[in-house]
Amino acid sequence: MASMNCHYYSSTLQSNISLNVIIPTPQGNEQIVSQSVQKQYCYEKGLPVVYLLHGAYGDYSSWIRYSNIERYAQERYCAVVMASGGNNFYQDMAHGLAYRTFFTQELPVFITSVFPVSQKREDTFVAGFSMGGYGAWYLALSAPERYSKAASMSGALDIAACYQQGQAGTMDSPFPWDAIFEQPQALAGSDRDLFELLSRCLKAGNAPKLYQACGTEDFLYKMNLEARKRVEDLGADLVYTEGPGGHNWDFWDKHIQGILDWMLER
């Protein structure tokens, strides 16, 4: 595989940024082949691409450092892109940087222009954990023309509840709420609320397929159970899975494998 650390100037974020990009190689894994190399896919058609989002305190290097994502991508012949979103829920901030615009517009254009990845919606996916679990669903539901499937692991899926619990001191809250949102106290039912966005997509007939995974020992488990019910009541195409585990890389590294298989199935 080719695992690359890329640097370029983002006009949206108005700074030089770093990305990690994984491109699988034709011969597969680490096997050294001196002759008769057989391509297992056609680069000309474009590889399926998965945008992987990090959680709070993380950055573009989190997945590379703590998971086996390189091997999983090679085994499944998909490209993977990882970029930093700060502690800002992947939003166009009210007083700050435009992360949603970067992830849904500028970054895909850069990736499809430079790397052999597909531009088709059916080949484009997004996944993340914790804050990035919310982010994956948020990006997909706010730009449903871009992504066909979105997966959340241990997701902070109820943004209004996260704000309320953070204000009450019952949840760790490293987020600059007043900088991210114009009115953080009015998030429920807004265009930052996943359930509102899902309802709109379902009415428009363009809702991405959703995947949700959470550990039964995760501090966000109750929120995820409540989110599952609300999403299913709305009529979403949802795959839900749970199992032993907490809010940690052991759980995320295990479950990203099933998520990739779900994304890439035809």
Per-residue pLDDT of the chain (266 residues), as tens digits, is: 788 999 999 999 999 999 999 999 876 555 555 555 555 666 778 999 999 999 999 999 999 999 999 999 999 999 999 999 999 999 999 999 999 999 999 999 999 999 999 999 999 999 999 999 999 999 999 999 999 999 999 999 999 999 999 999 888 888 999 999 999 999 999 999 999 999 999 999 999 999 999 999 999 999 999 999 999 999 999 999 999 999 999 999 999 999 999 999 97
Question: In the chain, count of helices (H) and strands (E)?
Answer: 10, 8
In angstroms, the CA 90 to CA 58 distance is 12
What is the per-residue pLDDT for 26?
74
Q: Say if residue 14 is exposed, middle or buried (CB neighbours under 10 Å; 0-12, 13-18, 19+).
A: exposed
- For 23, other C-beta atoms within 10 Å of its C-beta total 20
Q: What is the pTM of this model?
A: 0.94
Do residues 160 and 184 lie in contact, with contact meaning Cβ atoms separated by under 8 Å?
Answer: no
Radius of gyration, CA atoms only, the chain: 18
Q: In what order do the strands lie in the sheet with 2-10?
A: 2-10, 15-23, 79-83, 49-53, 124-129, 149-153, 209-215, 238-243
In angstroms, the CA 137 to CA 213 distance is 13
Characterize 215-243 residue by residue with b for buried, 16 or more Cβ atoms within 10 angstroms of its Cβ, and e for exposed.
Answer: beebebbebbeebbebbeebebeeeeebe
Do residues 132 and 55 lie in contact, with contact meaning Cβ atoms separated by under 8 Å?
Answer: yes
Tell me the domains of the chain and their CATH numbers. Answer: 2-28+41-264 (3.40.50.1820)
In angstroms, the CA 216 to CA 241 distance is 10
Q: Which residue has the tokens 């050294």?
A: 32
Do residues 133 and 156 lie in contact, with contact meaning Cβ atoms separated by under 8 Å?
Answer: yes
Closest residue by Cα to residue 111 from 191, 184, 10, 33: 10
Question: Tokens at residue 127, please?
Answer: 């996944």
Do residues 150 and 127 lie in contact, with contact meaning Cβ atoms separated by under 8 Å?
Answer: yes
The helix (H) or strand (E) run that includes residue 57 is none
